[in-house]
Every structure is written in structure tokens, then in C-alpha cells.
Structure 1
Amino acid sequence: MKCFKLLIGLLFLLQFGSSHAQTEKKIQLNYQILDTVKVDGSRDWYKVVWLKDTFELGVQAREDKLFDKMITDPKEELSAEKIAKIRKLESQLNFAQNCYSYAMESYFKQDKKYAQNTFTQKSTINGPGIELLLNNSFEEIREFPCKPRRNLKQELQDHILLAFIDKSNNVSHLVYHNKGVFYSKNGGWKESQEFTLKELVVDNYWDTQKIRLYRFKE
């Protein structure tokens, strides 16, 4: 009888563990490549479909392998020429991902339900592409003007994207915000974590007219 109860208990735990693991597993949002648009230096541009939107995605194709090869042996004494080449490659790798891709990657890393493999350290998306995604796959929560500057000190919701809107009403920059931290990447610079929105706008994107807040549509 005791063995029977133990067996029933074990089956219950296994069933609960399995169902719990299924609920914890994220839903993967994959993309599909439709065509190769062009090869631009070390970056390949593809026409892709992600969710219901079609846009161009640039993917770093070559420099990362060359960079890894150059620094494989840490004991090797590097010449000044080789150090210069490594620094140049490192700079090119930093340019592989822009602010739009980094903000999207950061958003889904923190999301509890969805995951994706479209936006990575090797990918970039242009302005029209990110605006298409924000308009169709995300919902606008609200927006506010950048002036007076005290507007930039207000409390913000967690787990949102902040689109910096310029004078032409375009998204000039995209940032992910969660728990008081702003995840940002500026051009070829490495990604950074900022703690004040005012510093981001005033120091780097001074022509921003308003901030628009987005969250992924369920």
C-alpha cells in the first residue's frame, strides 16, 4: 500500500513538473528569410518576415569569425599592426547592432512569455523597419513631450520600449526600460545602461521632441 501511494505521489510530481516546465517555457517568435537584398561590406541584408511584418534585416556575416581567430591564443605576443587590426575589427563588430535591434533584443530577454532570435548582437534594422514593427506588433501606451525637461524625470512603467521622436516625427532612437534602468546603444559604441532619461536625451539626443512608450501586443 505504501509503495502504491509513493508511486501515485511520484506520478503527480512528474506531471506537475512537466506542466510547470511547459508554462515556464517561452514562446519562440522566429523569422523567415524571403530573399537576399544585398551584400554591404561585411553585412548581408535580407528581406524577412517576423510575425506579420516584412522588413529588411542586416546581419554581420564575416568579421566576427576573423576577430575570434586573431585572439584565439592569449599567450601570443601581438604586434602593433595586429593590435590595430583587432581594434578596427572590434569597432566594426560594435557597429553590427544598432539601437533598434539592441532595444528589441533587451525587451525579449526580459519578457516572461516570448523569446526571439531575430534581434541579436549581429543584426541591425533600419528606421522604416522599426517603425513598421512598433506600429503593427506593439501597442502605444502613451507619449509625452520632452519640454519642459521635468517631464523626463517622471516615473515610467516597467518592461517598455521608449521611442525617441525627432522633429520629422521619425524614431531616431529606441531604448528599453525596466525597473529604473534604460538599456541603450548609440551607433558604434558599446551598449550601456543609464539611470536617467534626462541624461540620455539632453546629452545624446537633444533634438528629441517627444517620447513614445510601447509594449508588445499579446
Structure 2
Amino acid sequence: MWKTPKKPGIVIKRTMLALLFFPLHVYAQETTMAFSLKPYYAIVDTTEKDIYDRTVKVRWLNSTIEILAPASEQNQKAAREKLKQLFEKKGMPFDSVGHEAMSRSFAQNCHSFALEQYFNSKKIEDGVLFTPSTRLFDKEIEKILSESFTLIRKFTKKEFIKAQKELPQGILLVFRNQSNSPFHSVFYNNGFYSKNGAFGARIFPEVKPILKSYFDTAFIEAYAIDQTKFEYFKTIRP
């Protein structure tokens, strides 16, 4: 419950923030209808990149994206054996359990994690694309944002820190560095759902710990899925 502050200045500030986020609140409420993404993508090709990863080429609406997934079981076995031999050569014990845990932690990056959490929250079925075993490069998240999301608001770092407590629930946040690259993605829903590299996913009550890791952040963008883009795709697909 929002208690009425005694100081008029606080009332004015909160009113301004509410007006600032009004379009975002409306858009977030309008995009909670469950549907499946399966009619909108197709797996075009799968290539074993090396003994660690395979590249999955996916037709996503009108673009082609690439997702990194674990290599075949045979290649994963070869990778484990190679690492084991390296440890033995150096006279060190090989921790197979620890290796498996580390492999699972490395398997998903922030972009895949944020999209997975976003779609799950909206009850949107995404199939096998954004899971604890997949990773996306920056250029791929750009394509996904362009094809299927709408940019609602762009903040400087200082603006976002001030406004974070007024954020609507269930939005996708993209952190851009000084070069304007999307170098981190976060899902926001009563907290910031973030995964930093090989570290496990965490929920932060505020954004500052994330900014401490991603200190090169210049802007933070708020996105919501745009169902009109999916509906338009239905009308033009062959």
C-alpha cells in the first residue's frame, strides 16, 4: 500500500514517476495473455561447433538467430575425457561432480535466462530455445528485441536508480554499455532476476549490485513483448 507522504515534494515526485511509467504499466498489463511461440520459429540447422557447444540456427519471425547449446553427448564425453587427462598430466585429481556443476552453471547466460524468466512469467510457451542449457550472443538478443519486443522507455543509469522502485512488474530490462552493446539482460518482477556469467542466478531487491558488476552501463532499456508483431507475421508468412 502506498502511504501518503507528509511532505508535498514527495507527493509531486511520486506523481511524476507514476505519469512517467503510465505507458509501461498499461503495456505490461496488455501483454499477459498466454500463447505459444512455436508457430513463430523453426529450427533451420544444428551444427557441432566443437566438443563443447553446438550452434542451433533458428528462424525467428523474419530474422535468423543463432543459439548456443551443449554439444552432443558423444562430444561432451570427449570434452570430459580431455579435461580429465589434462588434470592427470599435472598430477591433480579430477572432480567429475564439480565439473558437471560448473558445466551446468556455464550453460546459460544472462540473455537466455532473462528471456526464459520473462516468457515463463507471461505463461508464453517458448519450446526449447531459452532454457538453462542455452546461450545467446549480443547480436542475437538485438534481433529478438527488434522482431518481437517494443522499447517502452530508455533510462540513463542515474535516472534508473531513482526510478527503480516505481517499475511495473514483469518487464525485460536490457543494459547497454558505453558502446551501446546489450551486454546484460535482466527480468524484473518484484526484484531483479539476473545471471552473471558462470555464477548462479540471483534475485536482487535493487539494481545497484548489478550495476557494480556491469559498471560500464550507460543506459537501461525497458521492453515489453509486442503481440502485434506476432499477429503481423501470421499475415505475411508463406
Short-chain TM bin: 0.7 to 0.9
Paired residues in the alignment total: 177
Report the 3-state secondary structure (helix = DSSP H, G, I; strand = E; otherwise coil) of the residue aligned with 2:166.
coil
On the 8 A contact 2:50/2:71 being kept in 1, the answer is no
Query: How many Å separate the matches in 1 of 2:104 and 2:220?
Result: 29
User: Do structure 1's residue 115 and structure 2's residue 153 form an aligned pair?
Assistant: no
| Superposed counterparts of 1:167-182, under 5 Å | 167-179=178-190, 181-182=191-192
Pick one of 57, 60, 63 that aligns with 1:47: 57
User: Do structure 1's residue 215 and structure 2's residue 224 form an aligned pair?
Assistant: yes
Query: How many Å separate the matches in 1 of 2:143 and 2:160?
Result: 29
Report the 3-state secondary structure (helix = DSSP H, G, I; strand = E; otherwise coil) of the residue aligned with 1:209.
strand
Pick one of 81, 101, 105 that aligns with 2:112: 101
**More strand per residue:** 1
In structure 1, list runs of 5 or more residues that go unmatched: 1-24, 67-79
- CA RMSD across the alignment: 2.4
Query: How many Å separate the matches in 2 of 1:169 and 1:60?
Result: 29
Query: How many Å separate the matches in 2 of 1:168 and 1:154?
Result: 27
Higher mean C-alpha deviation, range 145-154 or range 116-125: 145-154
Higher mean C-alpha deviation, range 115-124 or range 52-61: 52-61
Identity of aligned residues (%): 34
Kindly state the Cα deviation for residue 151 of structure 1 after the two structures are TM-superposed: 2.9
| TM-score with structure 2 setting the length | 0.68
On the 8 A contact 1:152/1:198 being kept in 2, the answer is no
Pick one of 167, 192, 205 that aligns with 2:202: 192
CA deviation map 1:67-96 (0-9, x unaligned): xxxxxxxxxxxxx946x1221221122111
Where has structure 1 moved over 2 Å in runs of 4 or more?
A: 50-53, 147-154
Kindly state the Cα deviation for residue 62 of structure 1 after the two structures are TM-superposed: 4.7
Query: How many Å separate the matches in 1 of 2:159 and 2:130?
Result: 34
On the 8 A contact 2:160/2:220 being kept in 1, the answer is no
* Bigger relative contact order, structure 1 or 2 (CA pairs below 8 A, ≥6 apart): 2
Query: How many Å separate the matches in 2 of 1:173 and 1:101?
Result: 10
Higher mean C-alpha deviation, range 158-167 or range 40-49: 40-49
| Superposed counterparts of 1:47-126, under 5 Å | 47-62=57-72, 81=93, 84-112=95-123, 114-117=124-127, 118-126=129-137
Kindly state the Cα deviation for residue 108 of structure 1 after the two structures are TM-superposed: 0.7
Q: Structure 2 counterpart of 1:216, which letter?
A: I
Q: Structure 2 counterpart of 1:175, which letter?
A: V
CA deviation map 1:24-66 (0-9, x unaligned): x942212321123442332110211123331101111357x87
Q: Structure 1 counterpart of 2:138, which letter?
A: G
1:166 aligned residue: 177
Question: Highest CA radius of gyration, 1 or 2?
Answer: 1
Question: Structure 1 158/206 Cα, relative in aligned 2: closer, same or farther at 3 Å?
Answer: same
Report the 3-state secondary structure (helix = DSSP H, G, I; strand = E; otherwise coil) of the residue aligned with 1:147.
helix
Higher mean C-alpha deviation, range 28-37 or range 102-111: 28-37
On the 8 A contact 2:118/2:171 being kept in 1, the answer is yes
Question: Structure 1 154/46 Cα, relative in aligned 2: closer, same or farther at 3 Å?
Answer: same
Q: Structure 1 counterpart of 2:147, which letter?
A: N
Query: How many Å separate the matches in 2 of 1:215 and 1:149?
Result: 17
| TM-score with structure 1 setting the length | 0.73
On the 8 A contact 1:37/1:46 being kept in 2, the answer is yes
